[in-house]
Amino acid sequence: MTDDLLLDVQDLRVEFPTLRGTIHALQGVTFGLHRCETLGLAGETGCGKSVTALAILRLVSHPGRISRGKILFEGRDLLAVSEAEMRDLRGSQISMILQEPKMSLNPVIRVGAQVAETLLVHDKTLSRRAAAERAVEMLATLGIPDPRRVARRYPHELSGGMAQRVMIAMMLVTRPKLLIADEPTSALDVTIQAQILELMKALKREIRTALLLITHDLGVMAETCDRVAVMYAGSVVEQGPVRTVLKRPQHPYTQGLLKTIPNDVAPDQPLFSIRGQVPSLLQPSIGCAFAPRCERAMPECAAKVPPQYGLEADHHVACFLHAPGA
């Protein structure tokens, strides 16, 4: 991992107008991703992980909009480039694996042709025959047996694990600098999940791409990521090296999230749960969004949004408990 940032997201805010009011889906998301690094975006459902990924690719669905912030990719602000430039970047420099691979594949086109199409879109000098051969080679690299036969199949003829491999082949065949994986193993059984994760790690090293892994599975994050950013109610509350955050979490929400893992729980002991409910995103947070559920909340927590306080070794926490003199 080098010291320079490949992706630098600064104060990213995304809004969705609705009949009930404006939903503030992202409220100042800030994080960085180094070259060849794996960063995990963790948090419960609805915290803004997938919206962050879509915003990076400028694919937030209308009427949603990016209201503020910067998304710097190799120093260039993606929010300032034209749509034509973004189309060139999508798939060639930045690729994304979506949830539910069979829903993302075209059901009436053979899978080999879909992998080859990704190449043809971004390399006009490539012939269809050459693209088809490279597609088969990529399927073979992903450990698919008899890749030529699989390339002639349609998505409905594939198992879940096989379809996920095809999706990874589509996203990596252009050798992108950044791969975004949104819950890439959520619909797979544990055995196939482990195979897919090992495969992604091996290909990441070979292609030397950075990986932004979106997951709610802390076990997957621990096995795969170099660093982690924990999100809550549309903002990053803690980020740092994965071992540091998991072993010594400093934000009350991260601590509560780890306590919900049922490790060494006696049969008659109730499972831990964080009290209260996730706040409504119809109003932007005046203070810390987690304050109403936090057992250690202080008066200033409800009055203003806490900044990111730097701790040891690239470990940052948005909590007034870590303010100087707290």
Task: Record the pTM.
Answer: 0.90
Q: Is 308 left (phi over 0), alpha (psi -120 to 50) or beta?
A: beta
CATH tag for 5-93+176-322 (out of 3.40.50.1460, 3.90.100.10, 3.90.1150.10, 3.40.50.300): 3.40.50.300
Q: How many Cα atoms occupy the beta-carbon half-sphere of 278 within 13 Å?
A: 15
pLDDT at residue 1, as a whole number: 41
Q: Is the dihedral of CA 28, 40, 75, 87 positive or negative?
A: negative
Q: Which residues of the chain have pLDDT under 50?
A: 1-2
* Angle between helix 190-207 and 160-172 (nearest 10): 10
pLDDT at residue 67, as a whole number: 94
pLDDT at residue 3, as a whole number: 56
